[in-house]
Amino acid sequence: MADRALRGTHMGSTSLESEEGVVFVERQNVDFTCPSGHTFEITFAIDAEVPDTWECPLCSKVAIRNGVEDFQEEKSTKPQRTHWEQLMDRRTMEQLQILLDERLEVYRSGRRRPGGY
């Protein structure tokens, strides 16, 4: 059986293509510092728009690009709403109770879908 084994490379582990003849785009390294004092470097293409902030890979806080002095953190003008608040915008408690009663009746009758199939 061993003489019939298929030999080769591991699937997906390495590429068989070479980098010969490939011209890489010009790059720039940008330094960021987070509030915890972590400094890290991210590589961008020269023509890419570099953001003022980046998530710190160590503590996940918002890091600011070095050299940016007048950064103002964008604050959400609209408060986050829970799923319950969004549901209550669409239905009243009476409608929800009717819907619950209908679904419980379907469940208790053994039918999983309206129509009996």
10 is in an annotated binding site: no
Note whether 84 and 65 are same-domain residues: no
The count of structural domains within the chain is 2
Domain with 65, as residue range(s), is 25-69
Whole-number percent of the chain with pLDDT over 90:
56
- pLDDT tops 60 at residue 72: yes
% of residues, the chain, pLDDT over 70: 78
What gap in Å lies between CA 45 and CA 24, rounded to an integer? 10
| Distance (Å, whole) CA 91 – CA 76 | 27
Q: Is the pLDDT of residue 15 over 90?
A: no
Alpha-carbon dihedral sign for residues 99, 102, 106, 107: positive
Band (87; pLDDT cuts 50, 70, 90): very high
In a shared domain, residues 65 and 33: yes
Is 8 labelled as part of a ligand binding site?
Answer: no
In this structure, what CATH number is given to the domain that contains residue 61? Answer: 2.20.28.270
The answer to whether position 16 is within a domain reads: no
* Tokens read off for 28: 């720039």
The distance in angstroms from the start CA to the end CA of the chain is 51
For range 17-36, the mean pLDDT? 90
Q: How far apart are CA 28 and CA 22, in angstroms?
A: 18
Domain membership of residue 85 (yes or no) is: yes
Asked if 89 and 64 sit in the same domain, the reply is no
Q: Does the annotation place 56 within a ligand binding site?
A: yes
57 and 29 housed in the same domain: yes
Q: What is the mean pLDDT of the chain?
A: 85
- 45 assigned to a ligand binding site: no
What tens digit of pLDDT does each residue of 100-115 get? 999 999 889 887 665 5
Do 39 and 63 belong together in one domain?
yes
C-alpha angle 59-61-63 in degrees, rounded to nearest 5: 115
- Does a structural domain hold residue 1? no
62 & 84 share domain: no
Predicted confidence (pLDDT) at residue 31 exceeds the cutoff of 70: yes
**Residue 55 contacts residue 87 (beta carbons within 8 Å):** no
> So what's the pLDDT on residue 7?
62
